[in-house]
Structure 1
Amino acid sequence: MTVQPPRDGATRKQHVLHLLASEIDAWVATADEQGEVCQIPLSFLWHDGRLVFATPEGSATGRNLARSGRVRLALGATRDVVLIQGTVTAVASADLEAAVGDAFAARHTWDPRADTAGKAGSYAFYFVTPLTVQAWREANELKGRTLMRDGAWLV
């Protein structure tokens, strides 16, 4: 395997923004009060600088997101990873702005607002505001991997 030369920060930032606009799923890691970790893939929408997820309110992930208000996400392959840490705001389906719900439904050809078949109850939407973003491919990109800190892009 040939190791590519390291990308500069601006190139990595553009790659992150491309993934946010083009990917449809992310790995979502949360923890409960005892520190028990739950990690699942969830579909998302990149909207106005935030990631929007939907999951049943009563699921472990839904409860953890609402309780802690924090999350860690991963996009991309393990050799081209983007890690995002952020804060979470939970919004009930009934309180969701119609334009956001419509955009989510159009992107995923599924509308959580109308889905009541979930074992854990009705769906809520979770808005993730990125605070920290890191991106790297190989060890030669570990230096400079932090592209956002405290919600502000560094590049």
Structure 2
Amino acid sequence: MTNETVPRGRARRIRDVRERLEREKDLWVASAGTDGTPYLVPLSFFWDGDAVWLVTRLSNPTGRHLAANPRTRLALGDTRDVVLLDGRVTAHTHHQVPPSAAEGFRAKTGWDALRSGPAYRWFRVRPTEIQAWHEEHELAGRQLMTGGEWDDPAERVPAG
């Protein structure tokens, strides 16, 4: 995406976020230990249209934190083109991950995580809140998802 001087409308921002989730391969994962110490790492991911799938060793800090705490924040982009995604985490073994998620992850990243052994866990992150903006002129209207629902005026059905 490129920076524009006119703020994007909500429907455009939502479309841009969905396209980035499809296209990009890596994002930043924020987690915290039980003592509150923050941890931030880049991980490859797969977006299945509903949730983000991550894979990492259960023995590293991110794996331990995601397994212990059902909340995380994910970030795409740089400081001038931001997507922040807050979500609920569920951990899955290789036997529990849906085949479509495992294949989608392999196709997108080139890594067949199912062959990496039992030390790895899959983490499904269902978005609850999403914000996106290009610099200061787009701070207003940056909230695109609340309570797990896209706030897309194009998808609203009039009442009655």
Q: TM-score, normalised by structure 1?
A: 0.92
Instruction: Map 1:8-87 onto structure 2 (within 5 A).
Output: 8-87=9-88
8 Å contact from structure 1 (residues 70, 87) kept in 2? yes
8 Å contact from structure 2 (residues 79, 135) kept in 1? no
Between the two proteins, the alignment pairs up a number of residues equal to 150
Identify the residue that residue 154 of structure 1 maps to in structure 2.
Answer: 151
Name the aligned partner's letter for residue 23 of structure 2. Answer: S
Identify the residue that residue 90 of structure 1 maps to in structure 2.
Answer: 91
| Deviation of 1:3 (Å) | 5.8
8 Å contact from structure 1 (residues 80, 137) kept in 2? yes
Name the aligned partner's letter for residue 25 of structure 2. Answer: I
Identify the residue that residue 127 of structure 1 maps to in structure 2.
Answer: 124
| Deviation of 1:98 (Å) | 2.2
CA distance in 2, matches of 1:149, 1:60: 28
Range that drifts further, 104-113 or 7-16 = 104-113
| Deviation of 1:94 (Å) | 2.4
Q: Counterpart of 2:52 in 1: which secondary structure?
A: strand
8 Å contact from structure 2 (residues 87, 125) kept in 1? yes
CA distance in 2, matches of 1:74, 1:18: 15
Instruction: Map 1:132-143 onto structure 2 (within 5 A).
Output: 132-143=129-140
8 Å contact from structure 1 (residues 27, 75) kept in 2? yes
8 Å contact from structure 1 (residues 19, 76) kept in 2? no
- Runs of at least 5 residues in structure 2 that lack an aligned partner in the other structure: 153-160
Q: What CA RMSD, in Å, does the superposition of the two structures yield over aligned residues? A: 1.4
Q: Counterpart of 2:22 in 1: which secondary structure?
A: helix
CA distance in 2, matches of 1:152, 1:3: 26
Cα offsets for 1:3-62 (capped at 9, x unmatched): 621111111111100100100100000001111011000000001410000000111101
